[in-house]
Structure 1
């Protein structure tokens, strides 16, 4: 039961990590050096070479100073590792499968960043993964980038999806997310119904449909993006960098037993399977 992770370390920049065309993690907090290990099996469709794209961005305004470009002090490294999900996690019980650091002028990790004074930096590389499953995902999907009226189709989908949540139409919601959830069930939880993380995921969705108050939120000012060679699209927020442009307001249970209103933001990655003219959620 191999489980793959990416752990990134950064300083002096914000970043995004895309795995096979899906945004795996976005870091837009000015907290100095930071690292996060993120599981990525859901974006690995089958064994073989996997594509990782990193995007580095300047920090913007800090203490009254505006950073519009990356600097020589920009640092970014990541490590891809795997572990056996079937065994307990004990200390450093994992295997490193790939190391990466953003290019420097010296060719050494600690050297000055090689792309200083640029407004962003993007690089793509591959690594090899071995998994005991195969997913269809977006492998047989249409290229939707450039299709007539595709942006309006995306906006219509978001509106309909928001209506499903607000109207508590659980049956329609289940049909809408069925393919995504089935592939996560297979690739992340290995069809293990006793998995505690899976139980938490089910509890989260159940809580959404058990809430007595859910309110649609208007889309943020957005940027429509295409990835996976034009097969996948999503709306990124321009108001809140790193977040989805889609959100809704719901009640949530707090640890003290009280309830409060909470704005939930979720990325929705859409595609069109071959032979289908309608957008569907794939991640």
Structure 2
């Protein structure tokens, strides 16, 4: 769990491409409302959050249900971010994207809303590559 033993990312020449692909896939999954694919993207984060709290199985089930409900609402993405920058944390082991253009400066590059709610939702998440893998995952 966590990121302390994750791979260092800040010197990876292919990282930007991988992060962009992860964000594009995340966006596509939410646009389509694909519950199973969404759960596969956030499963580790759900498990880690549940493990950090008492009665973890009950909390894990509730978190999973909340995520399934969340993914079921198809989203439209608004405020396109035309220029995003990689931002590193945790000694270069954790990365996220942050908008650097004038309209959305400082926000996550994915901002959406659903037909049920006109309130925009900023999709901020942090990625790492756990030790022993070469695949980006969302960290809680």
Partner residue of 1:279?
Answer: 136
What is residue 137 of structure 1 aligned with on the other side? 2
Task: Output aligned runs, 1:1-283, within 5 Å.
Answer: 136-188=1-53, 190-191=55-56, 193=58, 199=62, 204-211=66-73, 213-217=74-78, 218-219=80-81, 221-238=83-100, 239-252=103-116, 260-283=117-140
Which whole-Å CA distance do the structure 1 matches of 2:40 and 2:91 have between them? 26
Pick the structure with greater CA Rg: 1
Name which structure has the greater RCO, CA cutoff 8 Å, separation 6+.
2
Q: How many residues align?
A: 137
Q: What do residues 95-120 of structure 1 show as CA deviations (whole Å, max 9, x unaligned)?
A: xxxxxxxxxxxxxxxxxxxxxxxxxx
Q: Distance in 1 between matches of 2:55 and 2:105?
A: 33
Following the alignment from structure 1 to structure 2, what is the Cα–Cα distance between the partners of residues 272 and 202?
A: 22
Q: Normalising by structure 1, what TM-score? A: 0.43
The 3-state SS of whatever aligns with 1:208 is: helix
Long gaps (5+) in structure 1? 1-135, 253-259
DSSP 3-state at the match of 1:162? helix
Instruction: Say which structure is richer in helix.
Output: 2
Contact 2:35–2:72 at 8 Å: present in 1 too? no
Gaps of 5+ in 2: none
User: Which is richer in strand?
Assistant: 1
Superposed displacement of residue 193, structure 1: 2.4
Distance in 2 (CA, whole Å) between partners of 1:251 and 1:202 is: 22
SS of aligned partner of 1:175: helix
Given that residues 81 and 104 in structure 2 are in contact (C-alpha distance below 8 angstroms), is that contact kept between their aligned partners in structure 1?
no
Once the 2 structures are TM-superposed, how far is the Cα of residue 215 of structure 1 from its aligned partner? 1.5
Q: Distance in 2 between matches of 1:189 and 1:162?
A: 32
